[in-house]
Amino acid sequence: DQQVKQNSPSLSVQEGRISILNCDYTNSMFDYFLWYKKYPAEGPTFLISISSIKDKNEDGRFTVFLNKSAKHLSLHIVPSQPGDSAVYFCAASASEGVGGNTPLVFGKGTRLSVIA
């Protein structure tokens, strides 16, 4: 049973346009969400995160939106660049508070191709 779902395995976008990657989750205990970017033969690289007390977090070209009632989050990249081509993973955790971190539950990833 997948608790974090990325229903689009791949996405192609033209350079300069907006890329929107979607993620749905089922566990209402999740309160921290992250996006990771992964290039071949490398480990996932942290991109941006959002706490459940917020509905939007922005960092340069990257914005994450959280809709708790729909249990949905999305990552917007604008403008998209060829270097953004990678696999993007959505991840979630249910924090236990200060004193220890809890594991991340990952979606299966979306492969983004930005075409020049």
Partner 1 sequence: DAGVIQSPRHEVTEMGQEVTLRCKPISGHNSLFWYRQTMMRGLELLIYFNNNVPIDDSGMPEDRFSAKMPNASFSTLKIQPSEPRDSAVYFCASSLADLESETQYFGPGTRLLVL
Residue among 25, 30, 36, 88 that touches partner 1 (CB under 8 A): 36
> What's the CA dihedral at 41, 44, 45, 50 to 10 degrees?
160
Q: Does 88 bind partner 1 (CB under 8 A)?
A: no
CB of 43 to partner 1, least distance (A): 4
> What's the CA dihedral at 47, 9, 42, 103 to 10 degrees?
60
Cα three-residue angle 16-25-20, rounded to 5 degrees: 5
Q: Does 44 bind partner 1 (CB under 8 A)?
A: yes
Residue among 46, 58, 59, 82 that touches partner 1 (CB under 8 A): 46
β-sheet bridge partners, residue 112: 11, 86
Tell me whether residue 12 or residue 101 sits nearer to partner 1 (CB atom): 101
By CB under 8 A, name the binding residues for partner 1.
32, 34, 36, 41-46, 49, 89, 93, 95, 98-109
